[in-house]
Amino acid sequence: MDLSFYKGKTVLVTGHTGFKGSWLCKILLMHGAKVVGYALEPETKPNLFSQLSLEKEMVSIIGDIRDLEKLNKAFDRYQPEIVLHLAAQPIVRTSYQKPVYTYDVNVMGTVNVCECVRTHRCVKSFLNVTTDKVYENDDIPDHPFKEDEKLDGYDPYSNSKSCSEIVTHSYYKSFLKELGVAVSTARAGNVIGGGDFSKDRIIPDSARALASSTELVIRNPNSTRPYQHVLEPLLCYLIIAKEQYFNHDLCGAYNIGPDSCDFSTTEKLVKLFAKNCGPEFKYVIKSDNGPHEAAFLSLDNSKMKKTFNWSPRIHIEDAVRLSAEWYNAWVNNQDLIKLTEKQIKEFLSE
């Protein structure tokens, strides 16, 4: 994949201090982009943003996505040509505890980004990163969602992302199309990879158990998800933002996920992680009767494949192997910048 398009381009990434945002900024920086980030301070300690020393290589603006005035100033000052919107409250369980906050950040945050895109003529290509959870989900096994299915996520996180999609569609139809801005949304499945330290996610929970020699508790062993390595959707985001820049007919919504052979249960994922970590990693299955989360979630990725001649590169076994390699390096105090760069280079050269 040729990413030389990004060389010298100013790319604004919201959510740059998060897990996906940090990997994305690293890839962009490795390809010569001028990267401007807008997000809150990293939420966890440790966090990938600091581990990769990204603040030394890019402009990092710490601000709330709900603060339209501050976001406007960032657009005024840096005049981005490409905008990738990732900032969000992304945890399902947190959304049950803080529904108003989740809607505020995920919906009004998107309105604010769309508004800045509308009022800054520098922007040529805009991508809103949502999730595979935007669809109305009846938990029917073997039902891979297609892009034209109903948007109506169940829990406040998923539903706020459905709303974020709808906001983007309205801005596109009402303003951005006529202004000549290319706009798409990307609905990715659950991602795994090194450098995620969020709570209530299975691989970060496994890594913490590994680091502290405690037993991992698996809450939903049988829930099936289209897990994929973080580099897969990030490359797709960069492909979409680049290709639609040249061809506005490509604007739309895209599912991004693995092929069905790589859909995995949570238990299988943990077993694979254990295989890469040795006997010190231990886990137990214990349901905690938590709030509702979909049991089955699968995605139809054929539109992304057909439109961009793309296909997933990393099977689930390798996605877990790469994640475990990264967390083992973290536990053993190895050079994480070097390892992250190596994983990116190997992935892009495949």
Residues of this chain that interact with ligand NAD (CB under 6 A) are 15-21, 39-40, 64-66, 86-90, 105, 129, 131, 188, 190-191, 198
Give me the residue label for tokens 């399902």: 92
- Shortest separation between residue 134's beta carbon and ligand NAD, angstroms: 10
Cβ proximity to ligand NAD, 16 vs 34, nearer residue: 16
- Complex with ligand NAD: residue 176 or 299, whichever CB lies closer: 299
**Residue with smaller CB distance to ligand NAD, 40 or 68:** 40
CA 248 to chain centre: 23
Phi-psi region of 200 (alpha: psi -120 to 50; beta: other; left: phi over 0): left
d(CA 273, CA 322): 10
Cβ nearer to ligand NAD, comparing 129 with 277: 129
Alpha helices in the chain (DSSP H): 19-30, 48-51, 68-78, 92-97, 99-103, 109-119, 156-171, 177-179, 202-212, 231-246, 266-275, 302-308, 316-331, 336-349
Whole-number minimum distance, CB 190 to ligand NAD, in Å? 4
Smallest distance from the beta carbon of 319 to ligand NAD, in angstroms?
A: 12
Report the residue number, 39 or 277, with the smaller CB distance to ligand NAD: 39
Report DSSP letters for 293-338, one per residue: --SB-EE--HHHHHHHT------HHHHHHHHHHHHHHHHTT--HHH
Nearer to ligand NAD among residue 74 and residue 87 (C-beta): 87
Nearest to 123 by CA among 71, 49, 87: 71
**CA separation for the pair 186, 137 (Å, rounded):** 18
179 or 295, CB closer to ligand NAD?
295
Q: Output the six-digit token pair for 175.
A: 């303003």
**Please, which residue, 79 or 198, has the CB nearer to ligand NAD?**
198
| 46's tokens | 């440790």
Question: How many angstroms separate the CA atoms of 141 and 296, rounded?
Answer: 6
Q: Tell the smallest beta-carbon distance from residue 309 to ligand NAD (Å).
A: 23
- The least CB distance from residue 323 to ligand NAD, in Å, is 12
DSSP 133: G
User: Looking at beta carbons only, is 121 or 235 nearer to ligand NAD?
Assistant: 235
Work out how close the CB of 243 gets to ligand NAD at its nearest, in angstroms, rounded to a whole number: 20
User: Nearest to residue 29, comparing CAs of 1, 62, 54?
Assistant: 54
Q: How far apart are CA 208 and CA 204, in angstroms?
A: 6
CB of 114 to ligand NAD, least distance (A): 14
Least distance between ligand NAD and beta carbon 4 (Å): 25
Minimum CB separation of residue 92 from ligand NAD in Å reads 10
DSSP notation for 11-62 = EEEETTTSHHHHHHHHHHHHTT-EEEEEEPSP-SSS-HHHHTTGGGTSEEEE
